[in-house]
Structure 1
Amino acid sequence: MKKVLIALDYNPSSEKVVMDGYKLAKSMGAEVCLLHVITNLQYYGSQYPAFMGFESMNLSYDPKIHDEMKNIAREYVSTVASHIGDETLKTHVAEGDTAKAILDYAKAWGADLIVMGTHSHSALEKFLIGTVANGVLEKTTIPVHMIPVKIE
């Protein structure tokens, strides 16, 4: 394994995904890239507690601020990367359907492994909306390492 892509969302549970994925990648001597996908800009208006040095925003969604929100997403992954303190760590922000964007970037970057978290959702939520993890697993040709995280 030479390249490990770590997908993170804007939730404090991503800290565990990033740290566990980073340790795994480094144990294999792999290059690491943190990927964040902007799929629904309304998430950025959510108020989450600070984690990995990143303070959440308290904004209302406004379609006119799309570019500003992309900059905030870039700042987010940059802040997470600086928290790790590895100057070789790469970051990327993509847009679109989350599962598709993860798979597309993993292929384009040449990832050997995708690391992502699995959130606890109710059976009804999984049935109605599915999960990003399921979307990735259904279509991937790249091995995926899942890190279970529980949303409290």
Structure 2
Amino acid sequence: MKKICIALDTSPSAEKVAKIGFNYAQLLKSEVVLIHVVNHIGVYVNSYNPIMNYNGFLINRDIEIVESLEKEAIKFLESTANFLGEPSTEIKVLNGDPEHQILTFVEEYNADLLVIGTHSHSFLEDVLMGNIAAQIVKNAKTPILVIPVKG
């Protein structure tokens, strides 16, 4: 395995996912990229003309908010790379639907392995929101190491 992609969210369980994924990469002497998806940045952007004299609640700060979200995601990934002892680890911030963005990136990066975590959502959360990890496993063409994370 030459390339390992570790997908992280900002939950406390990300530490476990990062450590295990990074340990695999070290043992296999693989290149690593840490990725984080900012979910649907477009939701925060209001690029349309006022509708019925309504400008939207974010019209004046759209660009600042988007840039802020991306900057914080970069800081998170840089902090993770430092925590793992490899500050030069490649990082990538994506935006949009997490499942689609992760699967697309893994394919374009030609990753040999994707490392993701699962969360123990309630049944209702899984029904309403879907389980991102389950959808990734279902639709991936790349081998996946799924780290079970509870709580």
With the shorter chain as reference, the TM-score category is: 0.7 to 0.9
What is residue 37 of structure 2 aligned with on the other side? 37
User: What runs of 5+ residues in structure 2 fail to find an aligned partner?
Assistant: 42-57
Q: Please identify, of 127-136 and 27-36, the stretch whose mean Cα deviation from structure 2 is larger.
A: 127-136
Indicate whether 1:7 and 2:19 are aligned.
Answer: no
Distance of aligned partners of 1:88 and 1:71 in 2 relative to their CA distance in 1, 3 Å threshold: closer
Identical counterparts, % of pairs: 37
Q: What's the offset of the Cα at 1:23?
A: 0.5
Q: What's the offset of the Cα at 1:78?
A: 0.8
Distance in 1 separating the partners of 2:74 and 2:81: 11
Report if the CA contact (8 A) 2:78-2:87 is conserved: no
Q: What's the offset of the Cα at 1:82?
A: 1.3
Q: What's the offset of the Cα at 1:124?
A: 2.1
The structure whose Rg is larger is 2
Instruction: Give the AA of the match of 2:10.
Output: Y
Indicate whether 1:67 and 2:67 are aligned.
Answer: yes
Distance in 1 separating the partners of 2:113 and 2:122: 27
Q: What's the offset of the Cα at 1:109?
A: 1.0
Deviation string 1:11-65 (CA, Å, 9 cap, x unpaired) is: 1110000001100111111111100000056xxxxxxxxxxxxxxxxxxxx6621
Relative to the length of structure 1, the TM-score reads 0.81
Alignment of 1:3-152 (within 5 A): 3-39=3-39, 64=62, 65-151=65-151
Distance in 1 separating the partners of 2:117 and 2:135: 13
Residue-pair matches, total:
132
User: What runs of 5+ residues in structure 1 fail to find an aligned partner?
Assistant: 42-61
TM-align CA RMSD = 1.7
Moved over 4 A (4+): none
Relative to the length of structure 2, the TM-score reads 0.81
Instruction: Give the AA of the match of 1:23.
Output: N
